[in-house]
Amino acid sequence: MCIQCNKCVLVCPHAAIRAKFFAPEDLAGAPGGFLSAPFRSAERLGRRYTLQVAPEDCTGCSLCVQVCPAKDRANPRHKAIDMVPQPPRLERDRAAWDFFLRLPDPDRASLDTGTVKGSQFLRPLMEFSGACAGCGETPYLKLLTQLVGDHLLIANATGCSSIYGGNLPTTPWATNAEGRGPAWSNSLFEDNAEFGYGMRVARDQQRQSALDGLERLAGQLEPAELPASLLEALRHADQSDEAGIVEQRQRVAELKARFMLARALAQGASTAFIPQCGLAPGFITIVAHSLLRELDSVDTVRMRVGALPRTPSNVLQYNLTWSTDGLVNEYCNPCEALVDGQMCLVPPLEQVERLHIDGCEYEAFNTSGGLGTLAITLKDKVRNVNYKTIRYPGHCRLIKFLLNDLGFIDHRQQLCDIFDRSIPATSDDVIVILCVAIGIENGKLVEKIDSRRVPAATINGKHWTGIQITTAAGVCAVLDMLKDGKVPQKGFVKMEDVDYDAFIANRFGKHYA
């Protein structure tokens, strides 16, 4: 009976009703009772549509029922959406809501945001506020976050909106999958127009500082390091619409991936500058580059690495094996990747996948820092390049609960302290490494795989953890190869420059074999 008008989504004051459309295969793993229907769209044939209520956040104001235009002809009091008691449906709808949130959001730039229906597929960045049930203000603020998105600046005058908008320690202002959201502030005693103007001046100054930094780099680097086309696009980008903002963010991601400062320091050096020569980036980069050399053309490179306890005994199924600060940062920071040939940032802890390696089941998900220079090296050569961390199943979901639901994403040091205090370190670990390259070989689509495990071991009478072995082996092997003239002797040396066979044959690199 639902006509998919999305009016109920628009009027909901607390963003407790959401709509999405998606591919049928995205329903894999849906909980029992999760409802969807064919999407009514001539442009997106074959898609599914679902309308989902957050059962624990609906305030029961009934605005959705009042605005719904779809009535049962035989019983006009029955509409496509009706009010029903919550307790009998709570468990089922809670599972459905959790699954709904994991469904992919549509590309913002592809939506017709000039219609009620199209605008309500945009993810709201104001949700579950402390406003009264049936509030008449919050639907407008919610719509503003949908239309303007994560680049919204809000100078909030004092009133109702400053109360439900800033009821600390919680906040209704949310972030999107990339960790970005509206910038909000309220000042009780200042003139609000002047206050908002100050926010704008600060934003303009930040932009000018970024442009000044870009000009300094342009004066230091050769055109091959900073192409004129990229430089001009960064300087004069049109960011007046959603597509322009997305394109500029992709350019910034490409700029960062070029490791401008590191390369500038290495320019003209008489000695070698060799960062990222441990495990990931490091050995995993060497393996990936070796695999793609076996193919005539490459479509996808997947890199997966995990430092795991061999016998996990806690709910997280994890023990500390290396730097706690590094661990938390890789869970929190945006992740570089090549997607359809474009440098971009993808959100951490997303795109969870299941793996089976040597009879063991694992999960892998986005984390930051593992790609090193490989993505920029392979740009315009490979379509997709990504890196994920390997853990035992269920770990990612619990980390997302800690970071997102409990808010430790904004209190990283506290989370580090809790981990250090509560999660034991282990000396009995294992490093799980998987690298996959997919492409064409002799006219056929093939998959090249390198999979290995490096456990803790006794070397020369001393016990070493797996992470110690893999980190030290990478660094020492590359230094050995530098001494023997098997890697470039000066300038910036990438791990892609290191020959796999020579590395494995090395007295230190052999510990990876």
pLDDT band for position 263 (cuts 50, 70, 90): low
The answer to whether position 269 is within a domain reads no
Let me know whether 215 and 322 are in one domain. Answer: no
For residue range 17-45, list pLDDT tens digits in order: 999 999 999 999 999 989 999 999 988 99
pLDDT at 264 over 80: no
Let me know whether 180 and 227 are in one domain. Answer: no
CA distance 242 to 182: 15
What DSSP line would sit under 427-487, residue for residue? SSEEEEEEEEEEEEETTEEEEEEEEEEEE-EEETTEEE-HHHHHHHHHHHHHHHHHHTT-S
Residues 6 or more apart in contact with residue 427 via CB below 8 angstroms:
456, 463, 465
Q: Are the CB atoms for 245 and 239 separated by under 8 Å?
A: yes
Let me know whether 222 and 104 are in one domain. Answer: no
Give the DSSP letter of residue 90: H
pLDDT-above-90 percentage for the chain: 69
Let me know whether 63 and 199 are in one domain. Answer: no
Per-residue pLDDT at 465 = 96
For residue range 323-352, list pLDDT tens digits in order: 898 899 899 888 889 999 988 888 899 999
Per-residue pLDDT at 474 = 95
Burial of 204 (0-12, 13-18, 19+ CB in 10 A): exposed
The full 3-state SS of 68-79, as one line of letters, equals CCCECCCCCCCE
CA distance 93 to 101: 12
Let me know whether 414 and 504 are in one domain. Answer: yes
Domain that holds residue 363: 283-512
Largest CA distance in the chain: 87
pLDDT at 260 over 80: no
CA distance 63 to 132: 13
Residues 6 or more apart in contact with residue 488 via CB below 8 angstroms:
272, 497
Per-residue pLDDT at 36 = 95
pLDDT at 207 over 90: no
What single letter denotes the amino acid at residue 86? Answer: Q
pLDDT at 261 over 60: no
| Least confident segment among 255-264, 371-380, 477-486 | 255-264
Residues 6 or more apart in contact with residue 186 via CB below 8 angstroms:
155, 156, 157, 158, 162, 165, 166
Total domain count, the chain: 3
The answer to whether position 437 is within a domain reads yes
Q: What is the mean pLDDT of residues 406-417?
A: 91
pLDDT at 223 over 80: no
Per-residue pLDDT at 40 = 93
The answer to whether position 1 is within a domain reads no
**In 258-312, alpha helices (H):** 260-266, 283-293
Q: Give the dihedral of Cα atoms 252, 255, 261, 267; nearest 10 deg.
A: -160
For residue range 154-192, list pLDDT tens digits in order: 999 988 999 998 888 889 999 988 889 999 998 888 888
pLDDT at 15 over 60: yes
Q: What is the mean pLDDT of residues 236-254?
A: 88
Let me know whether 331 and 477 are in one domain. Answer: yes
Let me know whether 28 and 44 are in one domain. Answer: yes
Q: Are the CB atoms for 398 and 379 separated by under 8 Å?
A: no
Let me know whether 72 and 208 are in one domain. Answer: no
| pTM of the predicted protein model | 0.56
Per-residue pLDDT at 220 = 58
For residue range 498-507, list pLDDT tens digits in order: 999 999 999 9
pLDDT band for position 259 (cuts 50, 70, 90): low
Consecutive H or E run containing 242:
helix 242-257
For residue range 227-242, list pLDDT tens digits in order: 888 888 998 899 888 8
pLDDT band for position 222 (cuts 50, 70, 90): low
Q: What is the CATH number of the domain that holds 423?
A: 3.30.360.10
pLDDT at 262 over 60: no
Let me know whether 198 and 333 are in one domain. Answer: no
